[in-house]
C-alpha cells in the first residue's frame, strides 16, 4: 500500500502549469525583443551560437526536477508490514427510511436530509466501531455492507434519495430482517438504529424486533417528523411542483407515528428519540449504544511504513545537475553531434 505522509503538499504540483505559461510568455517576449533589432534570419546569422532548443530542454529538466521534489517533500511511503490487529468497537447498522413521506419539510430542510446530516455527524464520532447502512421504503436494500471504512460510509450516504427505491411504502419489518442478516454470526455487541417517520405499512415489524432481541441485537428508533406533520412535496427535475393529493384532490399530510417506533424500541430493549428542528436524536441514541460493552474483532492494517522520498530527491538532483551541465549556447562538439539543433 502506498500513501503520502503530507499529501496536502501535492497541491504544489498545480504550479507546474503556471511555470509553463510563464515560460511561454517569456519566450514570446524574447522573440519580440530580438525581432525589433532586425530581420529574424539576419539575427540568427549574427548569433550563430544561440540555440532555440537548449533553453527548452533546460526548462523541462527544471520542471521535472520541481515535480519530483514536491513528491519527495510529500514523503511517499510504502506499507511494508501487513498484520491483523485486534480492534474494539460496536457493530452498528443504520436503517434509514427513504419513502416519499421523508421529504416532508416539517423538519428542516426535510426529514431525509436532516437524518443524513445526523448520520454524517455520527460517522465523524466513530472510533473503532463498524457501520452499515440499510435503506427501505416498500422494500429494504443494503446500501453499505458493514465496514470500518468511514470515508466509504459517507460517500454511500451522500447518494441516498427516495429515487433509489421505486416501490413506495415503509417496510420496517423487512428492514429489521435485512439488518439482522447483515451481521456476522460471531458478532456479540450489535445494534440497529431505525430512522423513520413510523408510517409502517407492514405487520411484522414487532415480530422481527423480537427475533432480533432473541439474537442479542438491540434496536433503537428515531422518529423523524413532528406530530402535526406536513405535506409531501412533489419534485420534477429538482423543482417543487406541488404536493401529493388523495383521490379527492386534498393535500396529503404525513404525520409522525410515534406509537409504532416506541413499541419497536421497547420490544428491542432500546431507546426512542423524537427528532426536531434543533437535533435529530442520533447523539442521544449513540450515547445509549456507547454504553454497550465493546467487542473485539480483527482487522488487517499496515503496521509499518517505509519512507521512499530519497529516490525522488535523487532523481531531482540528477535532473538539476544535467540541466546545469547543458549550456544555452551551442558548442563545437555539440555541432558535430547535432543533438541540440
Task: Output the nine-digit C-alpha cell for 201.
Answer: 405499512
Q: Quick check: 259 and 206 in contact, CB under 8 A? A: no
Report phi then psi at 163, rounded to 5: -70, -15
CA distances from 76 to 128, 189, 295, 305, 326 (A): 26, 38, 34, 9, 30
pLDDT at 94: 95
- Domain locations in the chain? 2-75+308-337, 85-298
Q: Quick check: 169 and 202 in contact, CB under 8 A? A: yes
Q: What is the pLDDT along the chain (341 residues), one digit of tens a residue?
A: 677 888 889 999 999 999 999 999 988 887 777 666 656 665 556 555 566 778 888 899 999 999 999 999 998 887 655 555 555 678 899 999 999 889 998 888 899 999 999 899 889 888 878 899 999 988 999 999 998 888 889 999 999 988 888 888 888 999 999 999 998 766 568 899 999 988 755 668 899 999 999 998 999 999 988 888 889 888 877 778 888 888 888 898 888 888 889 999 999 999 899 887 766 667 788 888 777 655 555 555 545 667 888 999 999 999 999 988 887 665 554 455 444 44
Task: Output the nine-digit C-alpha cell for 11.
Answer: 497541491
CB atoms within 10 A of CB 62: 17
What residues form DSSP beta bridges with 220? 193
CATH number of 85-298: 3.40.50.410
pLDDT at 48: 57
Task: Show the 3-state SS of the chain.
Answer: CEEECCHHHHHHHHHHHHHHHHHHHHHHHHHHHHHCCCCHHHHHHHCCCECCCHHHHHHHHHHHHHHHHHHHHHCEEEEEEEEEEEEEECEEEEEEECCHHHHCCCCCCCHHHHHHHHHHHHHHHCCCCEEEEEEECCCEEEEEEEECCHHHHHHHHHCCCHHHCCCCCCCHHHHHHHHHHHCCCCCCCEEEEEEECCCCCCCCHHHHHHHHHHCCEEEEEEECCCCCCEECEEEECCEEEEECECCCCCECEECCCHHHHHHHHHHCCCCEEECCCCCCCHHHHHHHHCCCCCEEEEEEEEEEEEECHHHHHHHHHHHHHHHHHCCCECCHHHHHHCCCC
Calculate the CA 20 to chain-centre distance: 33
Amino acid at each position: 500500500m502506498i500513501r503520502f505522509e503530507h499529501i496536502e503538499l501535492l497541491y504544489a504540483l498545480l504550479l507546474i502549469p503556471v511555470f509553463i505559461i510563464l515560460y511561454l510568455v517569456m519566450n514570446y517576449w524574447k522573440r519580440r525583443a530580438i525581432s525589433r533589432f532586425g530581420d529574424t534570419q539576419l539575427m540568427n546569422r549574427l548569433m550563430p551560437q544561440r540555440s532555440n532548443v537548449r533553453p527548452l530542454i533546460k526548462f523541462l529538466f527544471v520542471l521535472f526536477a520541481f515535480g519530483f521534489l514536491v513528491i519527495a517533500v510529500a514523503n511517499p511511503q510504502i506499507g511494508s508490514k501487513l498484520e491483523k490487529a485486534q480492534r474494539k468497537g460496536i457493530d452498528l447498522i443504520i436503517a434509514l427510511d427513504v419513502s416519499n413521506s421523508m421529504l416532508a419539510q416539517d423538519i428542516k430542510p426535510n426529514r431525509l436530509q436532516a437524518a443524513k446530516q445526523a448520520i454524517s455527524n455520527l460517522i465523524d464520532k466513530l472510533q473503532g466501531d463498524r457501520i452499515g447502512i440499510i435503506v427501505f421504503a416498500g422494500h429494504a436494500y443494503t446500501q453499505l455492507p458493514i465496514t470500518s471504512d468511514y470515508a466509504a460510509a459517507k460517500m454511500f450516504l451522500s447518494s441516498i434519495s427516495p429515487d433509489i427505491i421505486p416501490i413506495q411504502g415503509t417496510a420496517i419489518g423487512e428492514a429489521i430482517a435485512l439488518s439482522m442478516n447483515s451481521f456476522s454470526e460471531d458478532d456479540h455487541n450489535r445494534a440497529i438504529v431505525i430512522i423513520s417517520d413510523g408510517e409502517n405499512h407492514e405487520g411484522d415489524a414487532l415480530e422481527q424486533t423480537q427475533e432480533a432481541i432473541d439474537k442479542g441485537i438491540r434496536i433503537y428508533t428515531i422518529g423523524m417528523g413532528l406530530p402535526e406533520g406536513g405535506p409531501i412535496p412533489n419534485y420534477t427535475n429538482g423543482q417543487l411542483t406541488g404536493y401529493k393529493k388523495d383521490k379527492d384532490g386534498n393535500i396529503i399530510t404525513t404525520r409522525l407515528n410515534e406509537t409504532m417506533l416506541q413499541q419497536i424500541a421497547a420490544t428491542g430493549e432500546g431507546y426512542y428519540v423524537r427528532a426536531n428542528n434543533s437535533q435529530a436524536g442520533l447523539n442521544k441514541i449513540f450515547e445509549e449504544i456507547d454504553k454497550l460493552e465493546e467487542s473485539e474483532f480483527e482487522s488487517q492494517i499496515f503496521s509499518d511504513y517505509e519512507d521512499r522520498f530519497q529516490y525522488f530527491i535523487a532523481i531531482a538532483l540528477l535532473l538539476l545537475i544535467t540541466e546545469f551541465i547543458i549550456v544555452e549556447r551551442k558548442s563545437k562538439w555539440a555541432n558535430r553531434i547535432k543533438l541540440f539543433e
